[in-house]
Structure formats: structure tokens, C-alpha cells
Amino acid sequence: MGPSVQIPQDVLECIIDELHSDIDTLKTCAVISHSFLAPTRRHLFHSIRLDTPLLSHRLCNLFTTRPEIALYVRKLFLLTGDSLHRQSWLASDKSLPTILRMVDHLQMFTMSQLTQLIYWDKFSTEVASALADRFRSPMLTVVKIWQCRRLPVSLINNFLYVKELSLILTSFYDDSEGTPVSVLRLPRLHSLEILPAARNDQPVAIFPQMENLQLLFIRACDWYTLSVTQEVIRSCATSIRSVMWCYMWMKEESTFKKWFGHSVLKP
């Protein structure tokens, strides 16, 4: 047998990159060669989806045993399912705070519930504190929150480094104790997607300073959403470049034209 040839590490990484969507092959590569371990982990743990407390517990155990793996996570999705035992697992999960503290290179965070509401004020102190701390990370640039009620106003100031923010059917409550809303700032925000909660679920209207906002995406065209949109546009009038909307019913098209006029482009 002839002498073995050492393949440069950058070539090995290019090979692994080509297999990024083949999870089974990546898992095999991770155990057959130490040279494959780091590049395969980069793909295997790039995006993490947690939708049950069991998965959260297992991931926490893995990170505790191998803390270097947590540094590969770039996207984290926290989801709650349809069944009764999943509806509130986020609120009091014991493993989630540890996970959030360890994913220091996280770039995108999503928290979503499509069938039931998530109430921030029902979160345990540990979960709420861990989420707030993670939102302050300079690495985190994309945040998407769906169906969450009663977020504290002060949480907005934790999004200092966020560039893309999505707030769908989300409401806030005023915990500022007299602090003027004008001190709230999103200085690096470039893109904002909104669908406000119903008026009776929106105890306070939040319009922070967004001096660099360029893209505003509106998910509905009812009268209340359009009134909120108008205030958002006023808060970033010098930077806004594009306003996009998506309406679901013909009556919303009529409402939009009454508000903005008839010379509009359909999405």
C-alpha cells in the first residue's frame, strides 16, 4: 500500500459544506474522523428547533457535557405545539435558561405559537431573565416573536443590535414607571414586520426611535393596524425607503385605499 496523502483541512471543510443538507451523512462523517468533527458540527447544530420540554432537557444535557457545541448554534426556534401538554412548556422550562446562556454566537431567535397565545408575564423569572439577557447580545441580529402578549416596554431597549424585527400579534404593557416612550430606541433596526394585536389586547402603543429603519412590512390593513403603521412611519420618516403590505381579504384592500388613496400597487 502506498503512503497516505494528507488532505488539507480547508479541502475537507469544503467537502463537508457540500453535504450540508444531508444530515445522515454528516452524522456519519462526525464519527469516522476527528478532522470532520468541527465542520460537521457547524452544520448539524447551526439551527435548533425546540418544541417540547424533553428536547429542551436533552439539549441542555448535551451543552452541559460538551459546551463547545453550543457555540455552533446560529438559529434557535422556540415553538409550542397544539397538544395540551405543550401549550405552556416555555413558561417554566428548567433547561431553557441554561441553553440561552450558552448559545453565545446566536444570530437569529424565533419564538412562536400559532394556535395559543404566549404570555410573557407567565414566564418564570429565570426564563424571562435569560431571554432578556440573550436579546442584548451583539451577535443577535434577527428576532421574530409571534403570538406573544404583555411583553414589557423596557424589553425594547434590549434590541440594540437587532437589524430585523418581526412582531406578529404581539402586545406590550407599560412597565417603564414614568419613563417617556421617546427614550426607547432601536438604533440598528433596518427591517420591521408588524401585525399588531387587537386594540383591546394592546394596552400601550409603542413607537420607539428607529432612525435607521428602511423596510416596513405590514401584515394586515385593518383600520387599527394602519393607524399604528402611520405612527411607526412618523417615527422614522427620514430613513424609511419601502413600505410593503399583505392583506388577506378584499375588504382590507378597500380600507387601504380609503386610507392611502387609490394609486397603490398590489403586493
What amino acid occupies position 267?
Answer: P
Cell of 241: 425607503
What is the pTM assigned to this prediction?
Answer: 0.81
Model pLDDT for residues 44-64, shown as the tens digit of each residue: 889 999 988 999 999 999 999
Closest CA to 54 of 98, 84, 89, 102: 89
**Would you place residue 210 in the very low, low, confident or very high pLDDT band (cuts 50, 70, 90)?**
confident
- Across 123-208, where does the E strand assignment appear? 142-146, 148-149, 151-152, 164-170, 172-173, 191-196
CA distance 122 to 26: 39
Decide: 110 and 139 in contact? Cβ < 8 Å.
Answer: no
What amino acid occupies position 241?
Answer: R
Please list, residue by residue across 184-222, b when 16 or more beta carbons sit within 10 angstroms of its beta carbon and e when fewer do.
bebebbbbbbbbbbeeeebeeebebbbeebeebbbbbbb
Model pLDDT for residues 70-91, shown as the tens digit of each residue: 999 999 999 876 544 445 688 8
Does residue 117 register a pLDDT over 90? no
Cβ neighbors of 5 (< 8 A, separation 6 or more) are: none
SS3 for 18-49, per residue?
HCCCCHHHHHHHHHHCHHHHHHHHHHHCCEEE
Closest CA to 47 of 75, 27, 70: 75
CA distance 60 to 73: 13
**Would you place residue 66 in the very low, low, confident or very high pLDDT band (cuts 50, 70, 90)?**
very high
Does residue 204 register a pLDDT over 70? no
Q: How far is CA 192 from the centre of its chain?
A: 12
**Bridge partners (DSSP) listed for residue 167:** 145, 194
Highest mean pLDDT among 15-19, 37-41, 62-66, 181-185: 62-66
